[in-house]
């Protein structure tokens, strides 16, 4: 005996009819809304056109005023002058905040001080150079890292100020030239009677080291030449010469090699010692765009029109509710 209940096809047909009516009603309301929107804009086309023009103009002006330019100077502070560099930059930045254009123009030498918005120093984290041939620096980092995150230690103000290279970052409202901005700032920073004396003494000491090293290398060359002549004389008798380890010939050669490397390092030092704060690279006029990413001239008309539509709907809603409240 079959227990299946026959399906009620009429219920399914009713459901389909209801769904069909709802879909038709939805598209009908959608078409009505679109038509009313078109009517709304046609009735107010003059206002909409004015808002588009005004929004584009204001947006274009804001795009231009929001632009700023970044300039970077990679420098190497010599003679332990890193703290001096930070102090000088902080002084200039404080004058920018105070809008002391007289100081910036007359003392620092910036041609258009009104354009300068900010100046700061950022370290270039080069931990490998920081610990290279400096066991004490490596031990210092290890000690500081025991109580905290190594990344924070490397970025810490105390550690970062001891890196070989620093970056001076400047922000201006408009494009500028190296002669009008970078050159006077570097000249101002490099003006220090105290560090100028240290510069002269240090440079002289390095030159003396080079002279003494040259003398030692010549003496080593003399010893090696004598040994070479002795070995040639012995070879005439077809005999091999074996140097005793006690002659320390290998140590002499290693010493000469170390002295040559030391000379090379000192010569490189002298190249950078011509200034207290030595600039290594200068980059100017890197454009920065803030709010809207330069697209406010397109966003502002949309905002104005949206505000106008909202105000119209708000007024209509208020009037309708006021009439119902009577």
Domain parsing of the chain, residue ranges: 18-63+294-325, 67-191+276-290, 199-272
Inter-axis angle of helices 296-325 and 45-66, nearest 10: 140
Report pLDDT for 92.
Answer: 95
Spatial contact of 302 and 72, defined as CB atoms under 8 Å apart: no
Q: In the chain, how long is the greatest CA-to-CA distance?
A: 134
- pTM, entire model: 0.63
Q: Where are the beta strands (DSSP E) in 97-241?
A: 116-123, 166-172
Per-residue pLDDT of the chain (326 residues; tens, 9 = 90+): 445 445 555 555 566 667 777 777 777 777 887 877 787 778 888 888 888 888 888 878 776 666 789 999 999 999 989 999 999 999 999 999 999 999 999 999 999 999 999 999 998 876 656 555 555 555 655 555 556 555 555 555 556 667 788 999 999 988 899 999 999 999 999 999 999 999 999 999 989 988 888 888 888 888 777 766 665 555 445 444 444 444 567 777 888 888 888 888 888 888 888 899 999 999 998 887 665 566 777 788 888 888 888 888 888 777 777 777 66
- Integer Cα distance of 70 and 285 in angstroms: 6
Tokens representing residue 150 in the block: 């190594």
Cα distances (Å, whole numbers) of residue 94 to 65, 117, 159, 258: 23, 11, 24, 47
Residue 237 has φ and ψ, to the nearest 5°, of: -95, 15
- Integer Cα distance of 171 and 211 in angstroms: 45
Q: Where are the beta strands (DSSP E) in the chain?
A: 67-77, 116-123, 166-172, 277-289
Helix (H, G, I), strand (E, B) or coil at 170: strand
Sign of CA dihedral 29, 32, 34, 36: negative
Spatial contact of 80 and 191, defined as CB atoms under 8 Å apart: no
Question: How remote is the C-alpha of 248 from its chain's centroid?
Answer: 52
Spatial contact of 288 and 70, defined as CB atoms under 8 Å apart: yes
- Read out DSSP for 100-139? -HHHIIIII--S-GGGEEEEEEEE---HHHHHTT-HHHHH
Residues in CB range of 82: below 8 A, 6 or more apart: 161, 162, 166
CATH 3.30.70.100 fits 67-191+276-290, yes or no: yes
Partnered with residue 288 across adjacent β-strands are: 68
E strand or H helix that includes residue 285 = strand 277-289
- Integer Cα distance of 55 and 46 in angstroms: 14
């Amino acid at each position: 005996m079959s227990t299946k209940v026959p399906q009620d096809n009429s219920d399914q047909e009713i459901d389909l009819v209801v769904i069909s009516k709802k879909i038709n009603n939805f598209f009908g309301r959608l078409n009505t809304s679109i038509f009313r929107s078109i009517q709304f804009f046609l009735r107010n086309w003059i206002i909409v056109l004015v808002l588009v023009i005004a929004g584009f103009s204001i947006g274009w002006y804001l795009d231009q005023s929001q632009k700023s330019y970044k300039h970077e100077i990679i420098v190497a502070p010599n003679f332990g002058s890193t703290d001096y560099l930070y102090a000088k930059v902080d002084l200039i930045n404080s004058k920018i905040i105070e809008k002391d254009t007289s100081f910036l123009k007359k003392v620092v030498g910036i041609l258009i001080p009104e354009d300068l918005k900010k100046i700061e120093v950022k370290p270039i984290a080069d931990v490998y150079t920081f610990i290279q041939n400096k066991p004490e620096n490596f031990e210092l980092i290890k000690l500081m890292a025991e109580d905290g995150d190594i990344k924070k230690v490397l970025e810490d103000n105390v550690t970062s100020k001891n890196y070989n290279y620093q970056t001076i970052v400047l922000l201006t409202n408009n494009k500028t030239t190296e002669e009008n901005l970078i050159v006077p700032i570097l000249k101002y920073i490099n003006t220090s009677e105290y560090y100028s004396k240290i510069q002269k003494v240090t440079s002289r000491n390095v030159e003396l080291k080079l002279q003494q090293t040259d003398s030692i290398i010549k003496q080593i060359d003399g010893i090696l030449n004598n040994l070479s002549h002795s070995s040639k004389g012995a070879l005439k008798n077809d005999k091999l010469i074996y140097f005793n380890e006690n002659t320390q010939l290998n140590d002499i050669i290693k010493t000469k090699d170390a002295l040559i490397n030391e000379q090379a390092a000192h010569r490189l030092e002298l190249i950078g010692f011509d200034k207290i704060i030595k600039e290594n690279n200068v980059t100017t006029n890197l454009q920065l765009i803030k709010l809207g990413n330069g697209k406010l001239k397109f966003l502002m008309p949309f905002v104005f029109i949206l505000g106008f539509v909202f105000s119209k709907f708000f007024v209509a809603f208020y009037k309708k509710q006021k009439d119902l409240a009577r």
